[in-house]
Structures are given as C-alpha cells and as structure tokens.
Chains A and B, each alone.
Chain A
C-alpha cells in the first residue's frame, strides 16, 4: 500500500518538520498504566522508508510509545491511551478499528527473540497461513528468510525447531516471520539487546536493507546504534517533577542534529553520556 503523502504538522514544538511522507503519526495526549501516568503529550511522526530511532533513559516511555503504534499495549488490561495514532490518516485507536487488523499491517520484532515452538519453516509461514495466503508458500518463506539474511544458515534445516537456532539466528528468524507477510511498518523494540556484538552488527545491516521496502520504528538503549542506523531520532526524557516518573518527547529531528547540535539542553546531556 502506498502512502498518500500527507504532511501532518508535527505538533510538538521540539520536533522539526519532517521531510518525507508520513506513514504514521503518533499524537499522544496521555498514556496510563492504571493510575500511573506513563507518557504525556508527545507527537512522533514516522516517515516512510526511514528508520526512526527512539532513545532515552529507562522509564522514559519509549517502548510504551512504540507499542502504542500497533496496539500491543492492549494486552495489558490496565493500559489506557488518550490521543490519536493515525496510520495513513486513519486513527488506529478509533473504536471501529480491530487491533488484530492493525497488527497485520504493522509488524513487530521484540527485545527477546521469540520464535514459536515449531519448525523454522512453520515460523516463517505462520503469518502467511494466518492471512490465508494461497500462493506458493515455499517461495515466500525462502524470500522472507533471504530478506532477513538467514537463508544460507537455515536452508538445509527448515524442518528443525526454530528454538534450536542461536540467539542471533532466532532474532533474524523473528524478523523473517515479521516480514513474510510484507507488512507496511516494522516496529523493533530493542531488537539487539539480547544479542552479541556480531549478531547485532548483522541485524543492523539488515535494518538498513529493510528500510528500502519498509518503514521502521526502532527503540534502542544503545546510542551508537541510533547513530549507525536511524535517519530520524526521537529523544524521550523522564519528568520526575510531579513525584512520579512520566515520560515525554524532549526532542526529535534528523539523527545527526540530535547528536551533534541538539536544541534542548537535556538532549545534549544525554547524548554526551552525562546520565543514562
């Protein structure tokens, strides 16, 4: 599906105007877990065919914001979202929208590799079968595994359990599973935090390849990773002034600008490693 290039004005003053087509625009008023205000007013546009990196100290709500983009947070009963997340102009939090449908268009890769307890082949074919794909399954599985840069490692053992692979291979298998149905947007929630440096490298290279076809939103606790792969970076901070810990978007802009010429004092302190 092609995005109608709609230039939704970024609401937050600190976000500089994006240059490309916006696939998703996340306009958060408030996000709660029970009574706890987790994230307050933040606007995060996600641009087409770019990697948007979310960085910030722990507890700043970057994962919460990412998981609001495909309604994964709905799994948590006490989660409450106030605001709008538009996807090609349609609010995914609209009452008429089924979260199941949202997740079919907006795929996700998680922090921990989480392949299903089934064969490598079935893992990748899972989404295809789920969507009632009637074409050549083998071909699509191969394509997805190639796309996730793990075809050569697994092509001779497609019938083996997905859990028999190493951590890095499992994560790439999960990426293959996510891209097999060719979703529009790929959300990646610290996809390398459980991986060793070599596997991390491979996944980062993969992200750069994938952005040619997909739009990616990436949460990372690793600032170097953001500088290596993200086109745009959103820096989230924690506000402790109300006696609670509430996350909010401090600043968003081209990655180079965030790291070399931040507009906010807090951003500068964070990217220089003065707190974490």
Chain B
C-alpha cells in the first residue's frame, strides 16, 4: 500500500507526502470496527430468533398451528390459543395507524408547506418529537385517568344510539380497544410526523415551483404534487409507525383490558400479543412459559413480515417514479 512514495519526484519544500504508517493502521482499524459492528448486529438478530424459536419449539410441537386459531388461554386445563391476541394486535395497530397516520401526515404538511414561519415550525416539530420521549407507562396512566373517563360518556352514547353499527356494538366499561388505539395513535404520531416531514423536505424546491408554475392552488400543489413526490418517504413513515404500534407493550397492557375476545367493537376489551406476554410472564409456570415463547415467536414473525412488506412496497414505489431507470 505504502510502496509508492514517488521517490524520484523532487519534493523539497513541498508539504505533500504519503499518509504515515499510523494513518494506514488507523484506516484499517476503523474498517475492522465498522465490519465488526455490522456483523454483531446481524448475529444478534439471528441469535434472538434462534433462542426464542428454541424455547418455543416444545410448545410448537405440542399445539401445532392450532395455537394460532384457537381462542382459549387456560393455564388450568393447559389449553392455549392466541387468535384473539393476534386479532387484537392487528386491529389496534391498524386503528392507530389510521388515526396516527392521518394526523401525522397532516402535521407534516402543516410544518413543511409554508403554513408556519420557519422558526415556529422548528419549535412545533420539537414539541411533537418530545411526544416520543414520554414513557409508555405514563401514557398508560394518562389513558386510565384522563382518556377513559373522557371517552366513556361519548362511547356509551354512541353505543346507545348506534349500537347496531358493529364498531359501537358494546358499551365502554373501562379499558378497551378504543382508548388503547387512541393512545397508540398518539405514540406513533412523532414517528410518522417527523419522518414525513423529512420526506416532504426532500422534495426539491424546483418541483414546488413547477407545481405553482402550472397554476395550482396551494392544496392542489400539496395533494397532486408534493405528497406523491414524497410518497415513498411517507410510506416509510407509515410502515415504521405500524411496526412500532405492533410491538408497543406497556400502555396497551394497561389500557386494553386483557380480555380474550374477538370483537369489531371499538369499546370492547381485547388483548394483544405484547400485552399478553407482559402481563402473563411474571406469574407463569413452565408450561405457560413455553406457550408464551410460542406467542413471542408469532409476534416476532408478524413484525418481521410487516416490515418486509413495507420495505417491498417502498422499493416498488421508489423504483416506479424516482430517477432510476
């Protein structure tokens, strides 16, 4: 590497020279550390999957795929099934994605499309990102003491008047899917908003000029040009938000009611995989722990599949319209 010193070049009085041996050692060392870190992360993921898979294997051989489709969780009789939890996980996360997604993207538009003066927008953005700093358990407490009492009269009125609509099919007695999904929406809001803000910021100014130059109104420019151009970034924001919602544990364990049932009603108590794991582990015997490990594996699989689908969709959207051929 250091063999070319250009010794034949007369370089008296010049500062130019080859890197020192130390520079080369540092260079190689740095490359080594970078590689090691990357490999370590990969190994960690593989190790976690293998470890959980190994612990779940006994339960898998015992209950098979029936575990995914049965609805009872009874330690006494040794019956375990997680269909209600799978349903609750997906349903609550989807609700949170719809609510948090709409608000998050709306906030991102508000912060990037000249509705606010630059400094004010920065302050606003910081406040929204601070939402991510609130501990999950605090959200849970806020949900129990503020949100649920606030929602209950509204929910029960909706149930009374529109009880025939499946979404309002039960009354809200306390914890339930609705409050849990709302809190979850607030929790994913910072993720969705700040990644969408970045995506919208990355739309070049010349694209905005092009839109206004065609004679668009502000909303036409935003809806027909800015949002589609930032589309793949906003999609990434939504996928990450959904991923976060799927795995969220503490606030949900406090708010969702931990009840094994499948219902479309927003006010019915339900359960999620993460909440099931968190609330059952501390007192679980060896048999239940094996079943919980299986449930953990299922949760891991769901999040991995969702993220993979998200990445694929993003790649498709990017390939279609960004400057690649």
Contacts and interface: CB of A to CB of B under 8 A. Distances in A.
Interface of A: 70, 72, 75, 77, 100-104, 107-108, 110, 112, 114-118, 126-127, 130-131, 161, 163-164, 174, 177-178
B320 A161 contact: yes
8 nearest A-B pairs in the assembled complex, by CB-CB distance: A104-B215, A103-B215, A108-B213, A114-B210, A114-B206, A117-B321, A163-B323, A117-B229
B231 to A, nearest CB: 8
Contacts of A116: 207, 210-211, 225, 228-229
A117 B228 contact: yes
Interface of B: 114, 204, 206-217, 220, 224-225, 228-229, 231, 320-325
Contacts of B210: 110, 114-116, 174
Contact of A72 (B204, B212, B225): B212
A45 B278 CA distance: 76
A107 B321 contact: no
A158 to B, nearest CB: 14
Contact of B323 (A75, A100, A127, A164): A164
Contacts of A104: 214-215
A163 B210 CA distance: 14
A131 B212 CA distance: 13
A248 to B, nearest CB: 25
B207 A163 contact: no
B268 to A, nearest CB: 43
B20 to A, nearest CB: 43
Contacts of B229: 116-117
Contacts of B212: 72, 75, 103
B229 to A, nearest CB: 5
A114 B321 contact: no
B321 A112 contact: no
Contacts of A102: 215
Given A163-B321, A164-B325, A114 B215 contact: no
7 contacts: A72-B212, A104-B214, A127-B214, A130-B224, A161-B320, A161-B321, A177-B214
Contacts of A161: 320-323
A107 B213 CA distance: 7
A229 to B, nearest CB: 21
Nearest to A116: B225
A130 B215 contact: yes
A66 B64 CA distance: 73
Contacts of A108: 213
A127 B208 contact: no
A233 B175 CA distance: 75
A112 B214 contact: no
Contacts of B325: 164
Given A72-B212, A103-B212, A103-B213, 20 more contacts: A70-B213, A75-B209, A100-B216, A101-B215, A103-B214, A103-B215, A114-B207, A114-B210, A116-B210, A116-B225, A117-B207, A117-B231, A118-B228, A118-B321, A126-B214, A131-B215, A161-B322, A161-B323, A164-B325, A178-B214
Contacts of A130: 214-216, 220, 224
A82 to B, nearest CB: 22
